[in-house]
Amino acid sequence: MANRPLDLGWIRMFCEVGRTGNLTVAAERLGLSQPAVSYQIRRIEEQLHIPLFERQHRGVALTADGRRLFDILSKSVDDVDTLVKGLRQRPHRPALRLRTDYAFSTLWLMPRVHAFRSRHPGADIQIVATHRDVGLTVDEGEVAVVFGTREEFAAMGTLLIPERVAPVCTPRFLERHGPLQRPAEIAAATLLHLDTMGSAPWFDWGSYLKALGTSHDLPPGQGELCFNTYALVIQAALADQGLAIGWLGLLDQLIDSGMLVSTGPELAATDRGYWLLPPEQGSEGTDQLCAWLRSAFSAA
């Protein structure tokens, strides 16, 4: 079955007859009866309204029009057969899935995934970004990086990034609206919010400012600026739109490059952060991906 030529319908049949010049030999090579091949050739000629073969005493020969068609189609059939043979000989590699949220995939993973691919060029990796999923189960051939608490995930995985946050903005925003070091100065700034369903399971502006002993009171007529993904929050900060809660560990490259600056007090919650969850039954691919993630954060 693995060596059977790909079914190309009448094209393969026509090319086999043109190549052999004999209906019976072509039928044997195709595993068909001679009348079936003869009938199919007549149907092709009727549809094209031209003869493709001249019937001879010991077989058939291509007409001039048949030769033109054969020269085009036979090359295509040979190219397809060569490609299919190569595909069948290539070892099957199941796709390696990395499931995580939009913030981790956009801000940490995408700038660095080339490092994993250069180390393991044969790996087929599929990145699946989802909203936060509590009670996540990790399927075979899949690795997950999820945000949660020690109570949720410590028994299942490894803590990669403990939650550490500080306000971040562009140098230009800080120059125009700073200083933004004291709690009252931060609370009075334009703040960029991540919209969540109910209370946020991480530091948001409300819990951050409460920990500093203050709150964000909007001036009359001024509304909040909210986004449904953290990546959009950071894009707004990069566009000088306001001050964002910066999750240190995710934003290191943007801060190191000077595109964002950290300002104000840093707060930490050591019982929560991003956890690496491997599958119950590991494979060479999942083991390589987990090892790369652990080493990336241990070196940070």
Token duo for residue 92: 């099957």
Q: Give per-residue pLDDT as tens, 15-45.
A: 999 999 999 999 998 888 999 889 888 888 8
Would you state the pLDDT for residue 137?
Answer: 72
pLDDT for 78 beyond 50:
yes
| Helices and strands: H and E segment counts in the chain | 13, 11
Give the domain 94-300 fold. D-Maltodextrin-Binding Protein; domain 2 (3.40.190)
Domain boundaries, the chain: 10-89, 94-300
Residue-averaged pLDDT of the chain: 87
Q: Is the pTM of this model over 0.85?
A: no
Interatomic CA distance for residues 283 and 287, integer angstroms:
6
- Beta-carbon contacts of residue 294 (< 8 Å; ≥ 6 apart): 158, 160, 276
Token duo for residue 39: 């009938």
For 61, left (φ over 0), alpha (ψ -120 to 50), or beta?
A: beta
- Beta-carbon contacts of residue 226 (< 8 Å; ≥ 6 apart): 193, 194, 195
Band the pLDDT of 1: cuts 50, 70, 90. Answer: very low
Nearest residue to 237 (alpha-carbon basis) of 273, 202, 190, 188: 190
Domain 10-89 and domain 94-300 have a common topology: no
Token duo for residue 90: 């290539």
44 and 20 in contact (C-beta within 8 Å)? no
Single-letter amino acid code for the residue at 246: G
Per the model's pLDDT, the better-predicted residue between 57 and 235 turns out to be 235
Q: C-alpha 111: how far from its chain's center?
A: 13
**Averaged over 94-99, what is the pLDDT?**
82
**Averaged over 1-6, what is the pLDDT?**
54
Nearest residue to 51 (alpha-carbon basis) of 34, 37, 32, 64: 64
Q: Enter the CATH code of domain 10-89.
A: 1.10.10.10
